[in-house]
Amino acid sequence: MTIEILMPALSPTMEEGTLAKWLVNEGDSISSGDLIAEIETDKATMEVEAVDDGKIGKLLVPAGTEGVKVNTPIALLIDSTESPHTSIKTIADKPYLEKEKITTELKTDKLITLEPNSSIITVREALRNAMAEEMRSDEKVFVMGEEVAEYQGAYKVTQGLLDEFGNKRVYDTPITEHGFAGIGIGAAFGNLKPIVEFMTFNFAMQAMDQIINSAAKTLYMSGGQMGCPIVFRGPNGAASRVAAQHSQCYASWYSHCPGLKVVSPWSSKDAKGLLKSAIRDPDPVIFLENEVMYGQSFSCPDDNNFLVPIGQANIEKEGSDVTIIAFSIMVGKSLEAAGILNEKGIKAEVINLRSLRPLDIETIINSVKKTNRAVTCEEGFPFAGIGAEISAAINENAFDWLDAPVKRVTGKDVPMPYAANLEKLALPQVDDIVNACSDVCYES
């Protein structure tokens, strides 16, 4: 009897990984629980255990292979009485890539244009580079959070920082968000420049009192004496299949509060430029990342002084028929939607907000005055969301230019469900954007 050992999914968002090392050889007998391989995901290198007893018949994927999709057979397990290679020829005589089972949602790799003086790097690398560069140039900058140091970051964003800067600049905290957020704020009052990582912003709710009452309001309450130069950063919004308590977008929560700046990058360029601006900013900045975006690559300027100013949106794609206003992961979905709309003859302009507070109302209004139609996109709940605010701003500033009511594409007004189909229904999809744009253009 032959059992296929498949490439395991080792995190909720893992789609592929590197088979770093085999810990067994063909012909070895193994028992369930034995370590058989090391697999590197975008988050960490993990050891894989055997689930069944038997003998390794064949290793289908050589050590060092990158980009092995989840569920690809990586080895064959045979009865321990069989000898390797006898019963398996018919099954495994082709290289693994041709045997690949996974065909669901085969995305065509988008073409990334390498801009001058830039490198193609992931959002994760851009964030890390931003922190490292600022830490090199300003000794007051330090990083604290859960698993940021020795573990190298729960999502590897702080990877390597401990090695370069040592334990006086990079601090692992206990899992006590309220306490360590407050300590970060105290350090900022003491003239340091902390970068506080939340493993996700879902956990930052534990620290909400410190973030709002201490970090955001103290400057005002002190008549301008108590600046709080701190960055709170971490993934925000939905990851994949982690359900309601781990999948919320907090953009509108933080943006509601005077005293905070709130930014949310989409590309590597945004990530680097905005994070560097946030670290240099004298005010508390909420930096909302997105776990799904960490592994995505973009062209990003190499310049150490490249900054994206806080409060400045970017027009990612120009168009004349409808303005799509989005931030974070929704920018990518909006660009996809714009591509589809283009085929239907609708030219959409896509605004990447980058900052939510202060909001670049000018860029939005100028665009709407040109296109006369607007669709907002966010992962968060619709009620009192970012879209509602943008819609109000358009009403106040460009009412006479509108040819259709502003439409909002948002997450559904429900806690995030776990089931794959329900989760997909709850999250805003490219089709939703396409439909909303068609609606405001009165096209079906």
Task: Decide: is 150 part of the binding site for other proteins (CB under 8 A).
Answer: no
Residue closer to other proteins by CB (options 229, 387) is: 229
Question: How distant is the alpha carbon of residue 176 from its chain centre?
Answer: 23
CA distance 326 to 351: 6
Tell me if residue 38 is catalytic: no
Q: Does 192 help bind other proteins (rule: CB under 8 A)?
A: yes
The yes or no reply on residue 179 touching other proteins (CB under 8 A) is: yes
Judged by CB under 8 A, the stretch of 69-77, 206-214, 338-346, 366-374 that binds other proteins is 206-214
Nearer to other proteins, 81 or 225 (CB): 225
| Tokens 């062209």 belong to residue | 299
- Binding of other proteins by 218 (CB under 8 A): yes
Query: Which residues face 144 on adjacent strands?
Result: 171, 196
User: Which tokens is 76 given?
Assistant: 């064959």
Is 336 tagged catalytic?
A: no
Q: Could you give the maximum distance between any two Cα atoms of the chain, in Å?
A: 81
Among 12, 84, 227, 339, binds other proteins (CB under 8 A): 227
Among 125, 133, 134, 177, the active-site one is 177
The residue among 188 and 427 lying less far from other proteins, judged by its C-beta, is 188
Q: Does 232 bind other proteins (CB under 8 A)?
A: no
Do the Cβ atoms of 319 and 349 come closer than 8 Å? yes
| 219 interacts with other proteins by CB under 8 A | yes
Q: According to the binding rule CB under 8 A, does residue 76 interact with other proteins?
A: no
Stretch that binds other proteins, among 90-98, 120-128, 258-266, 424-432 (CB under 8 A): 258-266
User: Which of 85, 99, 178, 347 lies at the binding interface for other proteins (CB under 8 A)?
Assistant: 178
| 3-state SS string for 81-97 | CCCCCCCCHHHHCCCHH
CB-CB contact of 190 with 145 (8 Å): no
Tokens at residue 429, please? Answer: 């999809």
Of the residues 146, 197, 246, 291, which is catalytic? Answer: 246
Check binding of 31 to other proteins (CB under 8 A): no
Q: Is 209 near other proteins (CB under 8 A)?
A: yes
255 binds other proteins (CB under 8 A): no
Q: Which residues of 304-343 are buried (b: 16+ CB within 10 A; e: fewer)?
A: eebbbebbbbbebbebebbbbbbbbbbbbbbbbbbebbee
Residue 222 is a binding residue for other proteins (CB under 8 A): yes
Burial class (CB in 10 A: 0-12, 13-18, 19+), 148: buried
Q: Is 155 in the site for other proteins (CB under 8 A)?
A: no
Q: Which residue has the tokens 């931003």?
A: 130
Q: CA-to-CA distance for 423 and 292, rounded, in angstroms?
A: 15
User: Can you tell me the distance from the alpha carbon of 393 to that of 375, in angstroms, rounded to the nearest whole number?
Assistant: 13
CB of 409 to other proteins, least distance (A): 30
Which among 223-231, 345-353, 383-391, 426-434 is the span making contact with other proteins, rule CB under 8 A?
223-231
276 is an interface residue for other proteins by CB under 8 A: no
Question: Which DSSP symbol is given to 113?
Answer: P
Cα separation, 134 vs 277, whole angstroms: 10
214 near other proteins (CB under 8 A): yes
Question: Could you say whether residue 142 binds other proteins (CB under 8 A)?
Answer: yes
Pull the structure tokens for residue 435: 């439909």
Looking up tokens 């830490």, which residue turns up?
135
**Nearest-approach distance from CB 433 to other proteins, in angstroms:** 33
Supply the residues annotated as catalytic: 177, 246
Residue numbers of the site for other proteins (CB under 8 A)?
A: 142, 168, 171, 173-174, 176, 178-192, 209-210, 213-214, 218-227, 258-259, 261, 281-283
